[in-house]
Structure 1
Amino acid sequence: MDKQPIVQQVIEHLGVELQAAEQAARFAHETATHEENVAENKYDTLGLEAAYLAAGQARRVEEIGLRLRVWRQLQVRAYDDAQGIRLTSLVLLADENDQRQWLFLGPEGAAIKVQDKQRTILVLSPDAPLGQRLLGRRVGDEVELTVAGRSQHHEIIEAY
């Protein structure tokens, strides 16, 4: 199964997120350096607050840019039953009510949903609780996850 379209959608999503963050960072920087935000006395903190916001926005741009680079360099691998589920695995789970859900294990920073061939795929990290439980598992295995004190059981139906 071709998983590259999933990766491409995540890259596009992160690109849009990066553009929005860059615009917010520019606006925050302009606000922080605007002449009207120069402190008039020691209690005037508007300029200082704007500077903190600008620094935070700049960090956000760096973080999103790093995630985007990681996703662009991602090597998509086919599922190998000998190794089980790992990074870039596409997995179909079914819960005890036979509700099915597609998951794609990707690098951190893209907990989003994408569409591929009329199916919704949740992109999650191996660091997420469900991602951790899936690592190394195989088709037919069951995973259990406790959410809000309630135990959830899922069976791995397919893996690619």
Structure 2
Amino acid sequence: MNKADLLHRIIEALEHDMLLLQRAAQTAYEAATAQENIAENKYDTLGLEASYLATGQARRAAEIRQALLAYQQLVSRDYDPARGIQISNLVTLEDQQGHPRQLFLGPEAAGLKIGEGDRQITVITPRSPLGQVLLGKRVDDEVSLVLAGVTQLQVVIAAQ
């Protein structure tokens, strides 16, 4: 998958997620404000719970809206060996067992997975530990990350 296709699929996934969350937030809001959910005593909390749910879903929809805007405005840059890995670079890492994995260093939407199986690409951001370590690295550089007391070594085998 090339970067243009990847960016298109990230935007599509974010648009889809935003629509789902907007619908869910609207449903929760309607439940929170429905006449039949007005509390009759202090133990009747259905309306309050629906209100909390609607608020959380609205916040998440706002986060996705922000991520979507960031991707719509993202200027995709090719990998430049002089600058090293930067935002908008697609990176392939290989672990010590020889297993490759592809990562896209994006401005938002960390954890989003695009594709399936061996062709799956995971979005990370510079705010993540791995994203911080990758910034400025070049092809053939080693990347070391300590997670849960275990050091993971990987090598940057490709970047675009």
Structure 1 and Structure 2 fold alike (TM over 0.5): yes
Partner of 1:8, secondary structure, is helix
User: Residue 15 of structure 1 aligns to which amino acid in structure 2?
Assistant: E
Tell me the equivalent position of 1:25: 25
Aligned to 2:9: 9
Tell me how far 1:44 sits from its aligned partner.
2.5
Letter of the 1:133 counterpart: V
The aligned residue for residue 108 of structure 2 is 108
Q: What is the aligned-residue identity percentage?
A: 49
Against the structure 1 CA distance between its residues 42 and 103, is the aligned structure 2 distance closer, same or farther, given a 3 Å change threshold?
closer
Partners in 1 of 2:18 and 2:44 — Cα distance? 32
**Shift >6 Å, 4+ stretches:** none
Structure 2 counterpart of 1:119, one-letter code: R
Match of 2:45 in 1: 45
More displaced 10-residue stretch of structure 1: 17-26 or 52-61: 52-61
CA distance in 2, matches of 1:93, 1:46: 48
* TM-score when normalising by structure 1: 0.91
**Counterpart amino acid of residue 159 in structure 1:** A
Of the structure 1 ranges 45-54 and 72-81, higher mean CA displacement relative to structure 2 is found in 45-54
Judge conservation of contact 2:104–2:121 (CA < 8 Å) in 1: yes
Match of 1:130 in 2: 130
Amino acid at match of 2:154: H
Aligned residues: 159
1:84 aligns with 2:84: yes
Counterpart CA distance in 1 for 2:104 and 2:51 is 38
Unmatched runs of 5 consecutive residues or more in structure 2: none
Coordinate RMSD, CA, aligned? 1.8
Which runs of 5 or more residues in structure 1 are unaligned? none
1:42-62 C-alpha deviation (Å, 9 max, x unpaired):
443222222222222222221
Q: Distance in 1 between matches of 2:105 and 2:12?
A: 17
- What displacement does 1:2 show? 4.1
